[in-house]
Structure 1
Amino acid sequence: MTITVECKTRPEGSKPKALRREGLIPAALYGHKGAESVSLTMPAKEAQMLLRKAAVNNTLVDLNISDISWSGKALIREVQAHPWKRTLYHLSFFCVPEGQTTNLVVPLEITGESVGIKEGGILEQNITELNISCTPKNIPQSIEINISSFGIGTNLSVGDLVLPEGVTVLDDSEQTVFSIVAPAKMATETSAEEEETIVQTEADA
């Protein structure tokens, strides 16, 4: 799905409060022509709609700045908003030229029903997002993990993940993504059985 964002350059000397009274949100584009940044405005309603579809550091958008005839790919890098009213204050975009790698965050999506969970095991997920690096054309919406074949006692690390082509993970490869553990009752029963076996073995000896 392509998301198009229409912006205009921000009038010099304009105040954020005055812009918001006009129904506009201050914004900025970084990485435009290298280190140059551009101050922008966009309609507040469009900004709110954008954030319902796009995620920070994840969704690539087509950004158009009509009054300077510029368009290109960009990521939403930062959203400033009121902590509980959720009123938008400012959006920051980062230009991503075609073919250039960028760092971003993608969600982990667990699919399937684990055989271990069917047997009463519990899924303990330690991370829900992954830090990756890739070019715009290779940005995945998510990293899918099918857990259907995983039983009780399974521990999956970042280094075990199967990544899409062109995607490099930035997180520690030893970091645990999730574990499928036995419930407390099952673990207690297993421990008791093991102790009984040890005692019986010692008695037989």
Structure 2
Amino acid sequence: MQLTAEIRTEHGKRPVRRLRNQGMIPGVIYGPEMEPVSIKLKKQEVEKFIHALSEAKPVTLRINVDGKTQDIEVFVKKVQIDKVTDEIVHIDFYKPAMGHVMRIEIPIRVVGKPIGVEKGGIMEVLHTELPVETLPGALVEHIEIDVSHLNLGESYHVRDLKLPEGMKVLLPADEALVTIIVPKGLQVEEVTAAAPAETIEPEVIKKGKKAEETEEEKE
């Protein structure tokens, strides 16, 4: 994905408000081996790609600096949205550096139909993103987890993940990511089905005793 950006010299509330009225979105680029750089992007271009933006997906910013075009690979760190207008008001971009650990959230992609769901259970996804620490070279756009083996009442935990080398999850190992809930109705059916079996045996025993007593009386 590529976005065009320009160096921004406007700072402060009024200049930034004027910038937004001109159809531009203010932003900033920062990273471990650079000074923060203020930029501005075309609102129309950003809105076109906003649904595809992800903290784990690299973005190429094409910036014109002193008459020279420069491409910088960055990651979207934060998107600020106006609570009233629901419009983008600011974007933070992070420029990684080799050898420096990044803290980001990677989308989780759940695949497979759990055995428990086929038996009437309900799948509940507890985490849609995974907070991790990783080196730039180990970064992936999403983490895929196969839940097809999960039965009723079972869960997929952090410890079950298969991660790229150099990636560390910032959650406890026993944290559940996906779980298969057993509906109450399903539990009731199981108990109801088992109940008659418990009452049949005593009745048979009573009949047996009566039969024995009858035989004794005849003798």
Q: Give the TM-score normalised by structure 1.
A: 0.82
How far is 1:194 from its partner? 6.8
Sort the Cα spacing of 1:154 and 1:13 in 2 relative to 1 into closer, same or farther, 3 A: closer
1:171 maps onto 2:171 in alignment: yes
Could you tell me which amino acid in structure 2 is paired with residue 102 of structure 1? M
Runs of 4+ that moved beyond 6 A = 193-201
Structure with higher helix content = 2
Provide the residue aligned with 1:16 in structure 2.
Answer: 16
Sort the Cα spacing of 1:32 and 1:64 in 2 relative to 1 into closer, same or farther, 3 A: farther
Distance 1:146 1:181 in 2: 17
Match of 1:61 among 59, 62, 78: 59
How far is 1:67 from its partner? 1.2
Could you tell me which amino acid in structure 1 is paired with residue 30 of structure 2? Y
Provide the residue aligned with 1:50 in structure 2.
Answer: 49
Provide the residue aligned with 2:26 in structure 1.
Answer: 26
Could you tell me which amino acid in structure 1 is paired with residue 149 of structure 2? S
Cα deviation, 1:83-127, whole Å, max 9, x if unaligned, reads 242222111111112443211111221111112211112212222
How far is 1:13 from its partner? 5.2
Provide the residue aligned with 2:94 in structure 1.
Answer: 94
1:180-191 aligned at under 5 Å gives the runs 180-191=180-191
**Is this contact kept in 2: 1:72–1:97, CA < 8 A?**
no
Aligned length: 200
Distance 1:52 1:110 in 2: 19
Structure 2, gaps ≥5 residues long? 206-219
Question: Percentage identity across aligned positions?
Answer: 25
Q: Give the TM-score normalised by structure 2.
A: 0.77
Could you tell me which amino acid in structure 2 is paired with residue 64 of structure 1? R
Distance 1:118 1:13 in 2: 57
Report the aligned-residue RMSD: 2.8
Provide the residue aligned with 2:38 in structure 1.
Answer: 39
Provide the residue aligned with 1:6 in structure 2.
Answer: 4
**Is this contact kept in 2: 1:103–1:134, CA < 8 A?**
yes
Distance 2:61 2:140 in 1: 19
Provide the residue aligned with 1:131 in structure 2.
Answer: 131
Structure 1, gaps ≥5 residues long? none
